[in-house]
């Protein structure tokens, strides 16, 4: 007899762990999980070491190092023209996923509905359900993965508590446009609906497209939690540091949850980031650097039989194998790993019902030699 009743009875090991383990077992090139295989800035690691030597090794403020929050606020003003208050509107968190979980935990009551667009980052629906909420899943339009706003309007009812958006989008690399934000604004106006905006890839956006952050839209910001990641911006995903921006009333409640969970984050890294964030080029040039990698990978992939579904942001680009095989995408991904030495992620893993369009996701945030090695194998398909 079990001692507990699972709060997530349908959840097992994540597909990222499964595919990464399979890659290890077969010595495969791992283009599955979203992390770079190139080094982060030595200037930033040196600043962390200096902060440790300078004895910044004890707890810092629960909401985050004040200087770091001040400099984030200055960055937001520069990028998006919006004034936010570092004391009341920003909380530093142990990663972007934590920031998302905390926002949901702050506001959800049992039976509340949250509109989620699929394919969706794998933490969203478990985060909703463990808080007693109900995920209302709306499929994005295939193959461009745009939001079907007519279906969103049809799904809104008195139980709708929140709408979750993600741009640039994981897993597809789709990005929201100004027209999307205006439609969202119209839908939630004069309602009590909140918004959670996952913007961890805010600087990884390509093709000259401006990032449509919630922070550009004061009417939306007052009802939103906006989540970011230092790990994605500075190539240090293992640091697990991010932050959330919201309005003062929402952030007051957010911090009540945060203080009894994470409480505060790694002090020396915050000290280092407060200094390094002043290097604007480090994040302003990130999009062009990653676009070069996307374009390099895309050019290589043109020699394969896989069909590109264009990405405009993130670490990722999706490819259809519908013209190659009738296998389901998980079986195809497993076969790629075992027989061709390439680990990917099947996109059906990002749908709760396993919707399968025969699409796999590649991470191109890798060194050129890594991408070369991978495509050499894929050409054999």
State residue 34's pLDDT score. 86
Whether pLDDT at 365 is above 80: yes
How many residues are recorded in the chain? 381
Domain with CATH 3.40.640.10 in the chain: 55-279
State residue 35's pLDDT score. 87
State residue 16's pLDDT score. 80
Q: What is the mean pLDDT of residues 270-276?
A: 98
Q: Which of 1-10, 14-23, 143-152 has the highest mean pLDDT?
A: 143-152
Q: Give CA–CA dist 364/370, Å, rounded.
A: 9
Look at the block and give the residue holding tokens 């935990």: 105
Percent of the chain with pLDDT over 90: 95
Phi, psi (deg, nearest 5) at residue 203: -95, -5
Q: What are the tens digits of pLDDT across the range 248-261?
A: 999 999 999 999 99
Domain with CATH 3.90.1150.10 in the chain: 15-40+284-378
Q: Structure tokens of 159?
A: 């139980």
State residue 137's pLDDT score. 98
State whether residue 308 is helix, strand or coil. Answer: strand
- The DSSP H or E segment spanning 197 is strand 194-198
State residue 356's pLDDT score. 98
Whether pLDDT at 1 is above 80: no
* pLDDT class of 15 with cuts at 50, 70, 90: confident
329 in Cβ contact with 359 (< 8 Å): yes
Look at the block and give the residue holding tokens 């985050």: 64
CA–CA distances in Å: residue 184 to residues 150, 234, 250: 11, 30, 19
Mean pLDDT score of the chain, rounded to an integer? 96
End-to-end CA, the chain: 48
Q: What is the mean pLDDT of residues 193-211?
A: 98
| CATH label, 55-279, candidates 3.40.50.300, 3.30.200.20, 3.40.640.10, 3.20.20.480 | 3.40.640.10
Q: What is the distance of C-alpha 298 from the center of its chain?
A: 22
Q: Does 198 or 17 have the greater pLDDT score?
A: 198
Q: What are the tens digits of pLDDT across the range 104-113?
A: 999 999 999 9
194, β-bridge pairs: 162
Q: Of 360, 352, 348, whose CA–CA distance to 309 is shortest?
A: 360
Q: What is the mean pLDDT of residues 53-75?
A: 98
| CATH label, 15-40+284-378, candidates 3.90.1150.10, 2.40.110.10, 3.40.50.620, 3.40.50.10490 | 3.90.1150.10
């Amino acid at each position: 007899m079990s001692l507990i009743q699972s709060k997530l009875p349908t959840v097992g090991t994540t597909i990222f762990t499964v595919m990464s383990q399979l890659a290890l077992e077969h010595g495969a090139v791992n283009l599955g999980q979203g992390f770079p295989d190139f080094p982060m800035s030595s200037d930033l690691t040196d600043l962390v070491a200096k902060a440790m030597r300078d004895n910044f090794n004890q707890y810092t403020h629960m909401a985050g190092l004040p200087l770091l929050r001040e400099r984030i606020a200055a960055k937001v003003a520069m990028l998006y023209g919006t004034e936010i208050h570092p004391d009341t509107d920003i909380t530093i968190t142990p990663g972007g996923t934590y920031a998302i979980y905390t926002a949901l935990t702050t506001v959800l009551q049992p039976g509340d509905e949250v509109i989620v667009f699929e394919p969706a980052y794998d933490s969203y629906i478990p985060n909703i359900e463990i808080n007693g909420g109900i995920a209302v899943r709306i499929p994005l339009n295939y193959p461009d993965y745009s939001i079907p706003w007519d279906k969103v309007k049809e799904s809104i009812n008195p139980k709708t508590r929140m709408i979750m958006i993600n741009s640039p989008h994981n897993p597809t690399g789709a990005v929201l446009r100004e027209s999307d934000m205006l439609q969202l604004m119209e839908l939630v106006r004069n309602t009590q609906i909140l918004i959670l905006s996952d913007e961890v890839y805010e600087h990884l956006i390509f093709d000259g497209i401006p990032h449509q952050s919630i922070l550009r839209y004061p009417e939306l910001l007052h009802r939103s939690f906006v989540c970011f990641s230092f790990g994605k911006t500075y190539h240090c995903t293992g640091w697990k540091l991010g932050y959330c921006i919201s309005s003062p009333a929402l952030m007051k409640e957010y911090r009540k949850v945060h203080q009894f969970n994470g409480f505060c984050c790694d002090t020396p890294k915050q000290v280092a980031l407060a200094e390094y964030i002043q290097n604007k080029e480090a994040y302003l040039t990130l999009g062009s650097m990653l676009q070069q990698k996307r374009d390099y990978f895309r050019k290589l992939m043109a020699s394969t039989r896989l069909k590109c579904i264009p990405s405009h942001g993130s670490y990722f680009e999706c490819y259809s194998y519908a013209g190659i095989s009738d296998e389901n995408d998980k079986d195809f991904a497993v076969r790629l790993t075992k027989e061709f030495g390439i680990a990917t992620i099947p996109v059906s893993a990002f749908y709760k019902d396993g919707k399968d369009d025969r699409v796999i996701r590649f991470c191109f945030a890798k060194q050129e030699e890594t991408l070369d090695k991978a495509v050499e194998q894929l050409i054999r398909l």
